Amino acid sequence: MEIILTKDPVELGKSAGSAAGELIINAIEQSGQANIILATGASQFETLKQLILEKDIDWSKVVMFHLDEYIGLPESSDASFRKYLKERFLDKVPSLKATYLVNGENDPVRECNRLNSIIELHPIDVALVGIGENGHLAFNDPPADFDTKEPYIIVELEEQCRTQQFNEGWFESVSDVPTKAISMSISQICKSKYIICSVPDSRKAKAVKDCLEEPVSNLFPASILQLHPNCTYYLDKNSSALLSSDLILKN
């Protein structure tokens, strides 16, 4: 694993977004197409902003999947990740070759089956992810399922995860946050050739420390990224504040 330290979320996003753009361009040059995964949430604001600015990406050769979506939440909701991606990314780039969004308003089992049949035909070149305050990766809350091989699964959202969504301003109360979601599985995320993990903010510092320094465990879901051969963490001054100096020096 590699750790890139930056001073603030803006610098983090510029660095992570530029790196993602270069990887996408390389994938297109090598294979004629790039298959990517995009994350959502506050941690991705600056990374996606920079990715959109990358001028040499031929978006007509890019296929996009996204990580997760609440079950039962309409797209009209401000908390909808489909709405997030359409407003913050899809409306701002030329037409992609294909876009596969998770529709949480469909029957969850059928929606998982639909997405699973598609993503199995699209090996992922670049995945943009974050780490939740409880260490979750996508919506795989602790204790995460490290064993399932299904690409998309139905998950229960634990209280700390739901509280995070409320505190970030997506919902009017914790009780409004859905208790279930469709999430890309841990095993599917880890199949990605390259992973860019953007994690700004002091409220993520404990999770960053746990997931980078503790032994790999489903109690710290994002710790699995320690085992990935091509994962780069982009951290800012605040999110990296609790990391040991030995780990930072190694990177």
Q: What is the pLDDT of residue 190?
A: 98
Question: What number is the average pLDDT over the span 127-145?
Answer: 97
CA distance 239 to 179: 27
The CATH number of the structural domain formed by 2-250 is 3.40.50.1360
In one-letter notation, the amino acid at residue 130 is G
Judged against a pLDDT cut of 70, whether residue 249 lies above it is answered with: no
Residues 6+ apart with CB under 8 A from 139: 67, 68, 155, 157, 161, 181, 182, 183
- The distance in angstroms from the start CA to the end CA of the chain is 8
For residue 55, give the nearest of 18, 82, 88, 89 by alpha carbon: 18
CA dist 148 and 168 (Å) reads 30
Kind plus residue range of the DSSP H or E element containing 18: helix 9-31
Q: From residue 51, how far is each of 13, 189, 241 by CA, in Å?
A: 9, 20, 26
**pLDDT above 70 for 251:** no
Q: Where are the domains of the chain?
A: 2-250
Alpha carbon 196 to its chain's center? 8
pLDDT of residue 1: 86
What percent of the chain clears pLDDT 90, i.e. is strictly above it? 94
The rounded distance, in Å, linking the Cα atoms of 37 and 197 is 12
173 is written with which tokens? 């109360």
- Could you tell me which residues are beta bridge partners of residue 217? 220
Confidence of residue 36 (pLDDT cuts 50, 70, 90): very high
- pLDDT for position 2: 94
